[in-house]
Structure 1
Amino acid sequence: LQCTLGGFEELQSMKAEKREILGLPPLPEDSIQVIRNMRAASPPASASDLIEQQQKRGRREHKALIKQDNLDAFNERDPYKADDSREEEEENDDDNSLEGETFPLERDEVMPPPTQHPPSDRITCPKGLPWAPKVREKDIEMFLESSRSKFIGYTLGSDTNTVVGLPRPIHESIRTLKLHKYTSIAEVQVHMEEEYLRSPLSGGEEEVEQVPAEILYQGLLPSLPQYMIALLKILLAAAPTSKAKTDSINILADVLPEEMPTTVLQSMKLGVDVNRHKEIIVKAISAVLLLLLKHFKLNHIYQFEYMAQHLVFANCIPLILKFFNQNIMSYITAKNSISVLDYPYCVVHELPELTAESLEAGDNNQFCWRNLFSCINLLRILNKLTKWKHSRTMMLVVFKSAPILKRALKVKQAMMQLYVLKLLKVQTKYLGRQWRKSNMKTMSAIYQKVRHRLNDDWAYGNGSSRHAW
């Protein structure tokens, strides 16, 4: 897919070119660059973490009382060694908090001259919010409709220019909304389809440009539902939360040897290969689904909607939630690879003798980039399936996705946290006041990192938007 359609950077340039062809203004920012400059937020503390912190605080206070008694007795014998005793006390302290840290200015010792460091560029943190706010044409129409019905008593339909009879603050609000108005390629494509259906004879035959995405869609269209079901079945079989009896598809046929291992070393190597094989399958399927969704959406919005509809029909939303309903930190930090057998190490260096210790050592990375990439892709797929879809958003609420997504915030990676916060934002107003009250840290992170839609009531429940689904 990357060779024929292109990756994410090619998608961004293709999107900019298509907006220019359609006469739309350029994008307000490059989303890839904005996410690269974002910093990860501290995850909200869970109940177990709060209890552990209270226990540590109690142990620290008890330890400080004991040490102070010993220090007073020692100072009575030799009052001139108080500073040295404090240094020994801090060296023996197991707590690494800032409360027990001694500063160099408080010590009676000769400080060494400061070392000369080469001048480095100062990192400047951007001020304000990272994203420019956006407003849809529909949002402006709804705001004008409610303002006209409130102050005048009648409505004008989709007219967004007539402001006669409205007070001056409403004029300023409309001016601000139009300043941040964003017209997407999908809205233009939907408008063109409506115009064509309104007058199909006078419009003539529609010419479809044969781009690689269009050619691929034409080939997939006859059996697209079967393809989506097959991909999701393989994803379910490769998920770490699936049991062995549910593996209806044999995804390990390429890994399992003809003869089962007889030694402990062979068993360990086979276990690493099986887990690594599953990780590669999850990574490949998540990337394929995300690339197809993004390319089809850029080519035509109805192609994207057709594929997304079949993914929802195949239970893609509960499948992704089931994937994240695990110890996500253990999955991200899993080391299912043998560094001495990985490419290109195995080609450049001589193959050493494998032992159980070398298999357990693994690499020195703090996380598995393959699993992190898969998690981000699945979150982006879930975002694309539920964006501006009320019934699919309510599926997230019904499947109780909020605690599952909150656990995913423990991964301190900016891009992954951003897409988790987006999924939490769309369902916040349906989770109730008590949830918002007890998750204010998550609400603050949503405000700081997720793009704002003016006139969006995400932070509070609105009766008009809570219609039946």
Structure 2
Amino acid sequence: MRLLDGLEVISRERRLKFARAILYLAQGVFDDCYTETEVVHWARYNVFLLYEMGTFGALVELLNMEIDNSQACSSSLRKPAISLADSTELRVLLNIMYLMVEIIRREGEDDKPEWSSARDGFRTELSSLVYNGEPFAVLLFSFVNKYCNGHTPHCPIKKVLLLLWKTILFCFGGFETVQELKMEKRAKLGLPPLLENSIQVTRTLRATSPPASAMDILEQQQKRGRRGRRDSLDIYCERDEAREEEDEADDGDSGIEGEVDPLEREALIQDLHSPGLAPERWLFPRCLPWATKVREKDIEEFLEVSRCKFIGFTLGNDTETLVGLPRPIHNSVKTLKQHKYVSIAEVQAKMEEELQKSPVSLGAEEVEQTSVEILYQAMLYNLPQYMIALLKIQLAAAPTSKAKTDSINILADLLPEEMPNTVLQSMKLGIDVNRHKEIVVKAISALMLLLLKHLKLNHVYQFEYVSQHLVFANCIPLILKFFNQSIMSYVTTKNSIFVLDYPHCVIHELPELTTEVLEAGDHTQFCWRNLFSCINLLRILNKLTKWKHSRIMMLVVFKSAPILKRVLRAKQAMLQLYALKLLKFQTKYLGRQWRKSNMKIMSAIYHKVRHRLNDDWAYGNDIDARPWDFQAEECSLRVNIEMFNSRRYGLHHTDLEFAPVDNCLQSVLGHQVSLPEDFRYSYELWLEREVFAHPIHWEDLLQPLT
């Protein structure tokens, strides 16, 4: 309580001293501990104690005051180069808040019973409208927007993005929570349960991937006398790289034929030591991993083509009448209906269409005030600026971006006041800079993917609104620019110094930092941080382009096929799965010669990606792929989004068509109407021209409205 009182003193130096004392408590009082486990234990205990004392609310007030500190902003703007010293107060506050969110979010085995209720209360506090009438996440979004606009150049943007990501993750839940909410919502809407759990299927894809290259697996199978199909996604790393495009000629394969890839070695060792694992684990499955799906629109299109062929006319959206069609067509329709999948998005879009048609008869829509709905309402008016700000920072942190004078300086909270003057200091600063950028990319990619998934589950047009603004802000070429590098080098980089990681650095005696220690890095063969970022960016690209022909054509125009082929060299099942999905979207537009030259990729798409029964992705016979239809498709989607936001939130304008009308004659005639001063001199002329000169058809009032 004395430390909290110290946060309210006038002197900035004293406030900083008390804030650092609270940070020391949140970090686990490491100077009084002897083991790393003890530090973690006291960090959890102290963080829950700080939350019970109301520390987080006091920190939010201080954060608002520091971020709007005109003196600090003006001094930062006047400086030629902003350094680490300009963001000391902000970094201390953000560190405490990040530790509180991250520690309270995670459940531990030694948690006390009252901590569970504290966790639920903290989640509600972050999600509700408590901080200046808006959720805490919107407050952080506004900080990011101010930073990109140049108003707060001293803001430690990496820590803000990390806190924003963890706040969204804490309030909404992770990917497994999305899966659970999806199952509950399908049951609520009366839809059949999901055919499979996508997370479990993706893990199965990884588990069934052999540890070595496809050539070694075939040799082993031949020695054992087994017959099997070449099942591995590693088929792209064989000796036929000479047939790739010219722009890939200088980027050779990163692995050695026949060796175990470093991305699979550690996972293989963990799997082999896991209990209860049968030897049949390495046997290839005899069926496709995904269940096939068919949309209602696919059945309608199939029947439309069949009726035009055999009958000569169509019946619109009727999928039940099969009169006049031959028996094989009946069997085909039966098979299609057995695999029909109705998504939550389709139901939501249909309900929105009915509400737009009959707003009076259906009445007001009951909107459940979930944490996702509250956040969308709060950030709706400034959402385009927030998305642009995230993409600006993502562009500045991309490893392929070149430094420009007008670009955002994301290293303001990293560079020291005095630049290094030795080789050792330069190496350490270089590692810190690369690690800093990697963490920024990780936070933004995870944040955008979580937002897209939760918004799509809450309402499809909320998801489409965010997606369109991401596309308009050039998110698709930005992600392709990110992948236009050596992915194997990126996911195996070692931009970390193990001996400086917390809490290892405060418990153990630090060795002397030399160039050998910095070059050695840690003992891992790959960087999960960068692999996680790559998978997230591919999933975002899938979310933006799925079922959108205009955006798929953007992938073709920006020549994403050779870029995605290079991604396939990283032998990780989930990464390759989403890269293959993106290639599947655009194969029909790439031409016959490309498909002929990349038959191994076509086979891998067939083996690993979900299929639609009547999808001709491998043949390119898409009759709807006409360029002049793409603009109309995007414009129609935008109209639907604007109508949704206008109806539910009144974003663009108030709808006067359904406003209440005053039908009382005395009330209408009793209104005071302001008239110009010269009206009394010309009102007789006005009556003659506007009233008496126009005939009144009284019989029209007796006719029914049409």
Offset of residue 243 of structure 1: 0.8
State the distance in 1 between where 2:441 and 2:420 align. 26
Q: 1:411 to 1:246 in 2, by over 3 A?
A: farther
- Contact 1:237–1:246 (CA under 8 A) maintained in structure 2: no
Offset of residue 373 of structure 1: 0.5
Q: 1:211 to 1:326 in 2, by over 3 A?
A: same
Structure 1, unpaired ranges of 5+: 52-94, 99-117
Match of residue 41 from structure 1: 233
- Contact 2:549–2:625 (CA under 8 A) maintained in structure 1: no
- Contact 1:43–1:410 (CA under 8 A) maintained in structure 2: no
Structure 2, unpaired ranges of 5+: 1-167, 210-231, 244-255, 260-274, 631-706
State the distance in 2 between where 1:96 and 1:12 align. 38
Match of 1:333 among 474, 480, 492: 492
SS at match of 2:236: coil
Match of residue 163 from structure 1: 322
Offset of residue 122 of structure 1: 2.1
State the distance in 2 between where 1:408 and 1:16 align. 32
Offset of residue 348 of structure 1: 3.8
Q: 1:293 to 1:246 in 2, by over 3 A?
A: farther
Structure 1 residue identity aligned to 2:312: G
Is 1:14 aligned to residue 181 of structure 2? yes
Offset of residue 466 of structure 1: 2.2
Match of residue 121 from structure 1: 278
The Cα RMSD (Å) is 1.9
Match of residue 441 from structure 2: 282
Q: 1:172 to 1:119 in 2, by over 3 A?
A: closer
Match of 2:592 among 422, 428, 433: 433
Match of residue 86 from structure 1: none
After superposition, residues 153-192 of structure 1 pair within 5 angstroms as 153-192=312-351
Match of residue 546 from structure 2: 387
State the distance in 2 between where 1:245 and 1:255 align. 18
Count residues with an aligned counterpart.
407
State the distance in 2 between where 1:154 and 1:241 align. 55
Match of residue 294 from structure 2: 135
State the distance in 2 between where 1:217 and 1:136 align. 29
Is 1:230 aligned to residue 397 of structure 2? no
SS at match of 1:351: coil
After superposition, residues 52-451 of structure 1 pair within 5 angstroms as 121-124=278-281, 125-245=284-404, 248-451=407-610
Q: In the TM superposition, what whole-angstrom CA distance separates every residue of 1:1-52 from its partner, at most 9, and x where no partner exists? A: 111111111111011100010000111000001001112611524888459x
SS at match of 1:465: coil
State the distance in 1 between where 2:520 and 2:583 align. 37
SS at match of 1:257: coil
Structure 2 residue identity aligned to 1:219: A
Structure 2 residue identity aligned to 1:44: Y
Q: In the TM superposition, what whole-angstrom CA distance separates every residue of 1:242-287 from its partner, at most 9, and x where no partner exists? A: 1112661110011101111121111111110010000000000001
Q: 1:194 to 1:120 in 2, by over 3 A?
A: closer
State the distance in 2 between where 1:204 and 1:419 align. 42
State the distance in 2 between where 1:120 and 1:376 align. 27
Q: 1:138 to 1:333 in 2, by over 3 A?
A: same
State the distance in 1 between where 2:295 and 2:626 align. 21
State the distance in 1 between where 2:201 and 2:405 align. 41
State the distance in 2 between where 1:417 and 1:229 align. 28
SS at match of 1:3: helix
Q: In the TM superposition, what whole-angstrom CA distance separates every residue of 1:45-102 from its partner, at most 9, and x where no partner exists? A: 4888459xxxxxxxxxxxxxxxxxxxxxxxxxxxxxxxxxxxxxxxxxxx9979xxxx
Identity %: 73
Comparing 245-254 with 231-240, greater Cα deviation is found at 245-254
SS at match of 2:173: coil
Q: 1:27 to 1:331 in 2, by over 3 A?
A: same
State the distance in 2 between where 1:278 and 1:212 align. 30
State the distance in 2 between where 1:439 and 1:175 align. 34
Offset of residue 424 of structure 1: 0.3
SS at match of 1:42: helix
Structure showing greater relative contact order (alpha-carbon pairs closer than 8 Å, 6 or more residues apart): 1
Q: 1:26 to 1:253 in 2, by over 3 A?
A: same
SS at match of 1:330: helix
- Contact 2:588–2:622 (CA under 8 A) maintained in structure 1: no
The structure with the largest alpha-carbon Rg is: 2
Q: 1:97 to 1:202 in 2, by over 3 A?
A: closer
State the distance in 2 between where 1:193 and 1:97 align. 55
- Contact 1:386–1:393 (CA under 8 A) maintained in structure 2: yes
- Contact 2:438–2:530 (CA under 8 A) maintained in structure 1: yes
Match of 1:5 among 152, 172, 181: 172
- Contact 1:43–1:409 (CA under 8 A) maintained in structure 2: no
Offset of residue 152 of structure 1: 1.1
State the distance in 1 between where 2:486 and 2:328 align. 51
